[in-house]
Amino acid sequence: MTQLAILSDIHGNLPALEAVLADLAQFKVDQVVVAGDVINWGPFSAQVMERVTREGWPAIRGNNEFYLLDYETPRAPAEWSDRSNWAMLPWLYRQLNGRWHKAIAAWPDTLSLRFPDAPPLRVVHGSPRSPSEAIHWTHGDAEIMEMLAGAEETTLVAGHTHLAMDRRVGRWHILNAGTVGVPLDGRFRASYMLLEGDADGWRPAFRQVPYDLGPLFAEFERQKFVEECGVLGHLVVEEFKMARLQLLPFILWRETCCPAAPFGLALLEPFSRINKWDYTPKAYHVNL
């Protein structure tokens, strides 16, 4: 029997990663696999990269790795030049200081794990089609089967949503470990997944680990993150404080109610008065 630990969406949150590794120490696993979004959002991207690479864990690129790799290149979308909307890009670039670009550039976008005693296992970040395409529990079977069309492996591990999943659709078993670094389900826990595999398939066990968020907020303060990143920085910190989506509801609310308004701090006060659930995707209406 093969035993794995799946970590996903660490997002530069070193205290959460350390809590997960302390919990993981009680289990004997054959391999730790990281399903993307190692960096960004949290203030410890360089330290998390140091730990992941030192451990030699197989890792794939998520959408946040592409933010780093495509920033200030011809691949960068035109909208990234709007620093009010994308203020975290130069902040992330400086945080990693060029040291980790070439390492991340060589990471694969997906992994096919082929252990001798268990079925092949595909690891993606979002979906097999894109690291930015989410597979949510709210999607119907037909939608998910379209996303997975062409995936040879019948067991698929994805991340990106920050929500744990264990679902069977058609011939596929779809698993999501949740998020190590940025919980969005109202629970202040670092999440990961243990997998046991044999000839009968893969069986998940979901772990949730408490950790101290104090060092995270102290590092944001030390780096003057909100001052540098403006409204975007404020909303990111609020996501850590609330364990709920903040940035996406803000974007959807602004697009609906005041699309001409500058993307700035002045919008935070009216945004604070709305019912954010009206602008939060149904998939995140959990643990209310």
The pLDDT mean for the chain works out to 95
> In a 3-state reduction of DSSP, which class is residue 36?
coil
User: pLDDT tens digits for 13-43?
Assistant: 999 999 999 999 999 999 999 999 999 999 9
DSSP string, 247-267: HHHHHHHHHHH-TTS-SSGGG
Beta bridge partners of 208: 191
Ordered by start, the domain boundaries in the chain are 2-209, 226-284
d(CA 45, CA 27): 26
* pLDDT tens per residue, range 97-150: 778 999 999 999 999 999 999 999 999 999 999 999 999 999 999 999 999 998
Please give the pLDDT value at position 85. Answer: 81
Segment 173-201, tens digit of pLDDT: 999 999 999 999 999 999 999 999 999 99
Query: 180 and 144 in contact (C-beta within 8 Å)?
Result: no
Phi and psi of 249, rounded to 5°?
A: -60, -35
What fold does the segment set 2-209 form as a domain? Answer: Purple Acid Phosphatase; chain A, domain 2 (3.60.21)
- Are residues 241 and 195 in contact, defined by beta-carbon separation less than 8 angstroms? no
Distant-in-sequence, close-in-space partners of 222: CB < 8 Å, separation ≥ 6? none
Confidence class of residue 172 from pLDDT cuts 50, 70 and 90?
very high
pLDDT score for 262: 87
Q: Can you tell me which residue has the tokens 């730790």?
A: 32
Residue 49: per-residue pLDDT: 97
What residues does 164 pair with on adjacent strands? 177
3-state SS assignment for residue 220: helix
Check if the beta carbon of residue 185 is closer than 8 Å to that of residue 63: no
